[in-house]
Amino acid sequence: MDIKAVVFDAYGTLYDIQSVASVTEEAFPGHGNAITQIWRMKQLEYTWLRSLMERYEDFSVVTHESLIYALNVLGLTYDTDVLARIMDKYAHLDLYNDARDALLALKGRKLAILSNGSRAMLDALVRNSGLDRILDATISVDAVKIFKPSPRTYALVETTIGVKPNEVMFVSSNPFDVCGARAFGFNVAWIERVTPDAVALEFANRDLVSPLSMFKAVRTQMDELGLQPTCRIRTLAELPAAVAQIDRR
Residues 220, 89: Cα–Cα separation, whole Å: 22
- Phi/psi-derived region of residue 130, left when phi > 0, alpha when psi is between -120 and 50, beta in every other case: left
The H-assigned helical ranges of the chain are: 21-27, 32-53, 59-73, 80-88, 99-105, 119-129, 151-154, 156-161, 175-184, 196-203, 211-219, 239-247
Residues 6+ apart with CB under 8 A from 166: 1, 185, 186, 187
Residues 6+ apart with CB under 8 A from 162: none
| Cβ-contact 12, 174 below 8 angstroms | yes
Q: What angle do CA 221, 226, 224 make, to 5 degrees?
A: 30
Q: Is 223 a catalytic residue?
A: no
Residues 24, 85: Cα–Cα separation, whole Å: 9
Residue from 9, 58, 142, 177 carrying the catalytic annotation:
9
Nearest to 247 by CA among 86, 141, 109, 125: 109
Nearest to 173 by CA among 181, 162, 163, 165: 181
Residues 122, 181: Cα–Cα separation, whole Å: 20
Catalytic residues: 9
